[in-house]
Amino acid sequence: MEYNFNEIEAKWQKYWADNQTFKAIDGSTLPKYYVLDMFPYPSGAGLHVGHPLGYIASDIYARYKRHQGFNVLHPQGYDSFGLPAEQYAIQTGQHPALTTEANIATYRRQLDKIGFSFDWSREVRTSNPEYYKWTQWIFIQLFDSWYNKDTDKAEDIKTLVSKFKKAGNAQVRAVADEDIAVFTAEQWKGYPKEQQESILLQYRLTYLSETEVNWCPELGTVLANDEIINGFSERGGYPVIRKKMTQWSMRISAYAQRLLDGLQNIDWPHSLKDAQTNWIGRSQGASVRFQVLLPAQAEGKTSKMSFKELEALKEKRANPTKASALLWARLKKKKAASKFRANYTLGNYQVDFVCLAKQTVVEFSGKDNQAQRKDYFEKEGFQVLYITSKDIEKNVAAVLVHIETALQFPKTAAIYKTVDASIETPEIEVFTTRPDTIFGVTFMTLAPEHDLVTKITTAAQKTAVEAYVKATSKRSERERMADVKTISGVFTGAYASHPLTGDKIPIWIGDYVLASYGTGAVMAVPCGDQRDWDFAKHFKIVIKNIFKDVDVSEGAYAEKDAVIANSDFLNDLKVNKASKLAIFELEKRGFGSGKINYRLRDAVFSRQRYWGEPFPVYYKNGLPQTIDPAHLPIVLPEVEKYLPTKDGNPPLGNATEWAWDSRNKKVVSNDKLKNKTVYPLELNTMPGWAGSSWYFNRYMDPTNEGTFVSKEAANYWREVDLYIGGSEHATGHLLYARFWQKFLFDRGHLPVEEFAKKLINQGMILGTSAFVYRIEGTNTFVSKGLLADQKVQPLHVDVSLVNSSDELDVEAFKNHPMYSDFNTAEFLLEDGTYMVGREVEKMSKSKYNVVNPDAICVEHGADALRMFEMFLGPLEQAKPWKTSGISGVSSFLKKLWKLYHTTGVFGVSEEEPTQDELKILHKTIKKVQEDIEHFSFNTSVSTFMIAVNELAAQKCCKKAILEPLLVLISPYAPHIAEELWNQLGHTSSIATASFPVFESKYLVESSKVYPISFNGKMRFTLELPLDLSKEALEKTVLAHEKTRAQLKGKTPKKVIVVPGKIVNIVG
């Protein structure tokens, strides 16, 4: 009987489909195991051999887990919304749904050929309305939620509204837009509905806002940060510019810390966790506010404390008056009750004593500006008490009673705020990771796009600043990035006041400061930051050194082991302590606070595309309203053209049926927009990552029409146990999916906070591109070996025209329709053949190095393809595809077949196996099991080869050996295993067989071949009994003639004996 793999494979693929062999059972009493692949985007090019690598690995694991008795969920589906189908629609007018349908059919046919154990009854497609109904539903959930920092989770927007009603927004700690106006409960209740709505929009987890976006003019859409590579679009490679647009955003920044913390609890590759950690980019430091000086103030005086006042303050601290010292000594003792501070700065004044908790100022009466001060303190919500030196000296206790009595009635309503941001004195807020270097600030730099630029620029500098801002805005992001070395900037003419010294700090503009990070402004410390240093040097700004025993004349000193000097109260401290103290002091004076900043930005969620999920949103008086979930899905409308409209609206602007009838709850024709109850629908669609951010949950309950996943299904399947896919999704899909999972968990829709316990990145399979070399300006091609110094142009040639010895089929090349330009070309051959050049590159259509798995399946079989892909090397490593090696696994499968067909027909014996045969089997069980559990699939393929070679050498045809062997192999080569299993007389699928149990008794040895080494180098081996004692072992070895020959009469210094392992003689 021949091993006819084509026939066998087709037979069993049909059997599995007909019998639904791999259907997962919901709520089974068996332990569950969920194995998931990243679902593919069904591109028109179909699968190449690189795609199935991860699928084969996960399939082996899924099949293995079934043999282990698990109820395995191993689904597959399609991420079927996306750009290529739409681009194709623009060119041809073919509806993307049709293109997608056709591509999916091709994918399915190709996948089926490889024999995956997918449960196809659970297939999902993100572009199906039954699926995206729930994507729209999740969007609504996000819209109806806000992030409460106090509970550290997302909550229903209703809880926010009730907080507003109760006490306004002053006490609410939320992750929300910046600069939200403070209002009281009364004010909130008095606001018109529209105003309430727009306030809520500033808190929602998905919100509409005018933001700087990455606009790609060629694609006519915005892109997320992770869709851009070096200033060009990931798809198509078109330039991307910055543009202000009103867009939907997702408040992923609310989850920055939890996304970071969650990495501790999941078994994902180290490098991937690193990528996410970098992307989130947590940095700890301080936010510092610098007061901009008015022109008059810049002349000399500052509004806050002057340098002189500061000196006076120090003086006063050092030498308190008798009365002051007396009272302070008593107040200090009361610490626990109400903490007082002495000589404290409040706004522009320095008060004698203050209790911040009780909002009480205690001052010596009789100051020159007493009335002014009182006014200010009371405006800030403090009560003011007056005392006199005389009273204190006479009876401190009485004064204390007076103070304590007053403390019992503090003004409750007022909120303590030291910031007095008036229009005349704007502030510049900066973020710094090095607050300890604050005394080294000698200038400030704003991004050219910073809001304050126009406000603070002086008349004298206006022209220069405007010219600079204009010049930088013209430069693309790309240019700005490429050109890091050129230092450019301009002085605004304005100054700020240093918060601790009162020094005048010049304010500059420079494009090395990015508008999109932090606050778009920096406090420049040239002695501690190279970019600041370069800027200062270039524009001849003072560089003040604040590091002890460090020379900064040649460059900045950025080491973390610095000791601070020349910095008042920070002198002689190291980074950590100095930072803490600097933050403490800034907080005390109301000029800043400790802050953690994240690089992670909120994700833009709108795309100006057709082929994506429509938003369940309509606009009433310009404000977005979500559609009641009961009326979902909002189905993508038909359009004439897939391009943007003439007036620049997204493609959905072409739809004629795209208005929401709020009375009849349905989508109606745009003609009806005249009606009062009909409103325009959102024209943007959702980005590609919307559908892929939750699909793994849908597989648990794919057809549920009442909910996105039922509680029962979610509680049974919980999360993905093993997720396999490419590392290119590190900062896109995998971050967004974690974000949505955490959100749905917060809102009580899911039982787990991380969606995938373990994740493995399969390495890319690289193509081996082939090149022909054309002499420049001619139609002559030179064989690779004849390339001398002549100028040639290398051209990719399709790898199907080249054999494995790198010889080009010249005739086929000339006649190939793709190369019709060259059918008259001349070829300079060597030894009668044309040799191509080879290079390993990413496998892609444009490089003509794509190898199709279908051809491999026809020629060698799916089992051979599966085994070969695993045999190529470690799963996680990138490796080049070289078809030559496939003959190895092909002949292995033939040898395997032969074991069961020694006489040409099927035949196994019922005879008892020998000890040797049992040893081979159990050694294989042990190794294969270990390998699968370590995802070391390449080594288990070798193990099978060894086992089959050894059994063939033993001429073993015993059923007791060959039957369990099939179960071991079946995850890797399921078709041949299923066929032979069937021939052994089984009527049910091998998939239901349990994995053979390893028994160590068969591997017990009585002797061991010991390596005998001399000074660590193995010289010969000796077979010795394993039960020999250490001493006996040493004696036997030393007595051996070979040992004596090695030692050449010398006495060994030392003998190391590790029983069962090694003997090492040191001489």
Partner RNA sequence: GCUCGAGUGGUGGAAUUGGUAGACACGCUGGACUUAAAAUCCAGUGGACUGUAAGGUCCGUAUGGGUUCAAGUCCCAUCUCGAGUACCA
Q: Kindly identify the residues of this chain, within the stretch 420-449, that bind RNA according to CB under 7 A.
A: 431-434, 447
Residue 1059 binds RNA, judged by CB under 7 A: no
Work out how close the CB of 954 gets to RNA at its nearest, in angstroms, rounded to a whole number. Answer: 12
CB of 938 within 8 A of CB of 897?
no
Work out how close the CB of 286 gets to RNA at its nearest, in angstroms, rounded to a whole number. Answer: 9
Residue in 329, 635, 858, 1066 binding RNA, rule: CB under 7 A: 1066
Residue 226 binds RNA, judged by CB under 7 A: yes
Work out how close the CB of 147 gets to RNA at its nearest, in angstroms, rounded to a whole number. Answer: 21
Instruction: Give CA separation, 130 vs 234, 430, 633, in Å.
Output: 29, 48, 7
How far apart, in whole angstroms, are the C-alpha atoms of residue 755 and residue 296? 60
Amino acid type, 558 = A
HSE of 67 in the Cβ direction (CA atoms, 13 Å)? 27
How far apart, in whole angstroms, are the C-alpha atoms of residue 680 and residue 171? 37
Residue 1018 binds RNA, judged by CB under 7 A: yes
Candidates 196-204, 398-406, 514-522, 787-795; binding stretch for RNA (CB under 7 A):
514-522
Looking at the Cβ atoms of 215 and 937, the one nearer to RNA is 937
Candidates 69-77, 163-171, 581-589, 728-736; binding stretch for RNA (CB under 7 A):
728-736
Candidates 75-83, 406-414, 707-715, 1007-1015; binding stretch for RNA (CB under 7 A):
1007-1015
CB of 436 within 8 A of CB of 500?
no
Candidates 42-50, 105-113, 197-205, 892-900; binding stretch for RNA (CB under 7 A):
892-900
Residue 225, exposed/middle/buried by CB under 10 A (0-12, 13-18, 19+)?
Answer: middle
Candidates 66-74, 93-101, 291-299, 520-528; binding stretch for RNA (CB under 7 A):
520-528
| Token pair of 995 as six digits | 């994995």
Looking at the Cβ atoms of 245 and 275, the one nearer to RNA is 275
Residue 49 binds RNA, judged by CB under 7 A: no
Instruction: For tokens 């189905």, name the residue.
Output: 635
Grouping H, G, I as helix, E, B as strand and the rest as coil, residue 377 is helix
Residue 728 binds RNA, judged by CB under 7 A: yes
> Binding to RNA (CB under 7 A): which residues in 937-956?
938-939, 941-942, 945-946, 949
> Binding to RNA (CB under 7 A): which residues in 177-206?
none
CB of 524 within 8 A of CB of 536?
yes
Residue in 514, 635, 812, 818 binding RNA, rule: CB under 7 A: 514
Instruction: For tokens 């006489």, name the residue.
Output: 903
CB of 680 within 8 A of CB of 673?
yes
Candidates 403-411, 661-669, 670-678, 932-940; binding stretch for RNA (CB under 7 A):
932-940
Looking at the Cβ atoms of 191 and 1020, the one nearer to RNA is 1020
> Binding to RNA (CB under 7 A): which residues in 861-890?
871-874, 877-880, 882, 884-885, 887-888, 890
Candidates 13-21, 40-48, 82-90, 1012-1020; binding stretch for RNA (CB under 7 A):
1012-1020
Residue in 9, 511, 963, 979 binding RNA, rule: CB under 7 A: 511
How far apart, in whole angstroms, are the C-alpha atoms of residue 323 and residue 439? 34
Instruction: Give CA separation, 135 vs 467, 652, 687, in Å.
Output: 47, 18, 11
Work out how close the CB of 271 gets to RNA at its nearest, in angstroms, rounded to a whole number. Answer: 4
Work out how close the CB of 477 gets to RNA at its nearest, in angstroms, rounded to a whole number. Answer: 8
| Token pair of 1065 as six digits | 């003689």
How far apart, in whole angstroms, are the C-alpha atoms of residue 595 and residue 365? 38
Q: Which of 166, 167, 147 is nearest to 156 (CA)?
A: 147
How far apart, in whole angstroms, are the C-alpha atoms of residue 784 and residue 803? 15
Residue in 537, 919, 1019, 1035 binding RNA, rule: CB under 7 A: 1019
Work out how close the CB of 595 gets to RNA at its nearest, in angstroms, rounded to a whole number. Answer: 10
Work out how close the CB of 1030 gets to RNA at its nearest, in angstroms, rounded to a whole number. Answer: 13
Eight-state DSSP code of residue 319: S
Q: Which of 867, 903, 799 is nearest to 5 (CA)?
A: 867
CB of 13 within 8 A of CB of 913?
no
Looking at the Cβ atoms of 713 and 1065, the one nearer to RNA is 1065
**Residue 1029 neighbours by CB distance under 10 Å:** 10
Residue 970 binds RNA, judged by CB under 7 A: no
Work out how close the CB of 240 gets to RNA at its nearest, in angstroms, rounded to a whole number. Answer: 12
Residue 79 binds RNA, judged by CB under 7 A: no
How far apart, in whole angstroms, are the C-alpha atoms of residue 455 and residue 975? 75
Looking at the Cβ atoms of 357 and 1026, the one nearer to RNA is 1026
> Binding to RNA (CB under 7 A): which residues in 89-128?
none
Grouping H, G, I as helix, E, B as strand and the rest as coil, residue 295 is helix
Looking at the Cβ atoms of 393 and 429, the one nearer to RNA is 429
Work out how close the CB of 467 gets to RNA at its nearest, in angstroms, rounded to a whole number. Answer: 17
Looking at the Cβ atoms of 594 and 888, the one nearer to RNA is 888
Q: How many residues bind RNA (CB under 7 A)?
A: 87
Q: Are strands 443-446 and 521-524 parallel, antiparallel or unpaired?
A: antiparallel
> Binding to RNA (CB under 7 A): which residues in 589-608?
597, 599
**Torsion, Cα of 705, 709, 710, 711 (10° steps):** -160
Positions of E strands within 776-876:
780-782, 792-797, 807-808, 826-828, 834-835, 837-842
Looking at the Cβ atoms of 584 and 1020, the one nearer to RNA is 1020
Work out how close the CB of 1018 gets to RNA at its nearest, in angstroms, rounded to a whole number. Answer: 4
Residue 897 binds RNA, judged by CB under 7 A: no
| Token pair of 308 as six digits | 């002189």
Residue in 518, 616, 688, 702 binding RNA, rule: CB under 7 A: 518
Residue in 66, 866, 927, 958 binding RNA, rule: CB under 7 A: 927
Residue in 484, 630, 788, 905 binding RNA, rule: CB under 7 A: 484
Residue 762 binds RNA, judged by CB under 7 A: no
Looking at the Cβ atoms of 700 and 932, the one nearer to RNA is 932
Work out how close the CB of 531 gets to RNA at its nearest, in angstroms, rounded to a whole number. Answer: 5
CB of 860 within 8 A of CB of 965?
no
Residue 1007 binds RNA, judged by CB under 7 A: no
Looking at the Cβ atoms of 681 and 766, the one nearer to RNA is 766
Eight-state DSSP code of residue 204: B
| Burial track 881-918 (b if 16+ CB lie within 10 A, e otherwise) | bebeebeebbebbebbbebbbeeeeeebeeeebeeebb
Chain centre distance of CA 942: 36
Work out how close the CB of 450 gets to RNA at its nearest, in angstroms, rounded to a whole number. Answer: 10
Grouping H, G, I as helix, E, B as strand and the rest as coil, residue 471 is helix
**Residue 671 neighbours by CB distance under 10 Å:** 11
Binding string to RNA for residues 254 to 293, with x set by CB under 7 A, is what?
----------------xx--xx--xx-x-x-x--------
Candidates 497-505, 705-713, 907-915, 936-944; binding stretch for RNA (CB under 7 A):
936-944
Residue 681 binds RNA, judged by CB under 7 A: no
Residue 575 binds RNA, judged by CB under 7 A: no
Positions of E strands within 787-936:
792-797, 807-808, 826-828, 834-835, 837-842, 879-880
